[in-house]
A = this chain, B = another copy of it.
Amino acid sequence: MKMSPAIQDLIDALRHLPGVGPKSAQRMTLHLLERDREAAESLGEALLAALSRVQQCQRCRNFTELTICEICGDPKRDDSLLCVVETPADVLAIEHTGSYRGLYFVLMGHLSPLDGIGPKELGLDSLEVLLEQETISEVILATNPTVEGEATGHYIAEMANRNKILVSRIAHGVPLGGELEYIDATTLAHALGGRKVVSPE
């Protein structure tokens, strides 16, 4: 016996969510249809609204509904500091510490040649323009302490070096192999405060 096509389509669509297998997708579908049609409608509309409204900031690449995001556009932020992170979740995690007042650049990933993710896919051409044109005095590398994150950080450090900009790296304290988005705020604040200059030495 098959589910009705509209139900099966919904189960299949829910399986694209990370961490959702066939059993959970079926449970979610029946839950929404049986007990929470209002939530299903809100979710459907929220998805389509987010897709049509959310773009990337033209300066930092973070998600925003504006051309230039709220952080980049905030005159109270210190625009001499640029923190480079892999994902929007990392920006949130750092903002959550309340201990950073500079700007960001969001790579939306890390260098991964085997997956076809090179400098261009990470917007490193726009980053180079930022480094050349803005008055950035320090680039803070906050890529993940993984092989790919380190390689990406190294690449960006060289770009900053060419522009004679100080490069620092958030302190170890973030466990090796850990992902920023899952680190508690205190550890992350500590890591930021203890950042070390990596070049020029």
Residue numbers of A with Cβ under 8 A of B are: 1, 3-7, 9-10, 12-14, 16-19, 24, 26-34, 36-37, 39-51, 53-54, 63-66, 69-71, 87-89, 91-92, 95-96, 108-109, 181
Contacts and interface: CB of A to CB of B under 8 A. Distances in A.
Given A6-B50, A41-B51, 7 more contacts: A1-B96, A7-B63, A18-B28, A30-B63, A44-B44, A44-B45, A44-B48
A171 to B, nearest CB: 22
Given A27-B18, A63-B33, A65-B6, A50 B40 contact: yes
B30 A89 contact: yes
A153 to B, nearest CB: 19
A51 B47 contact: no
15 contacts: A4-B69, A5-B65, A6-B46, A6-B49, A6-B53, A10-B46, A10-B50, A13-B43, A16-B36, A17-B32, A26-B92, A27-B181, A33-B63, A43-B44, A47-B47
A184 B104 CA distance: 51
A70 B7 CA distance: 14
Main secondary structure of the interface of A (DSSP, over half): helix
- Per assembly, the copies of the chain total 2
Contacts of A19: 24, 27-28
Instruction: Name, among A28, A37, A44, A46, the residue most crowded by chain B CB atoms within 10 Å (CB to CB).
Output: A46
A66 B1 CA distance: 15
A41 B48 contact: yes
Contacts of A36: 16
Given A44-B51, A47-B10, A108-B34, A65 B4 contact: yes
A161 to B, nearest CB: 29
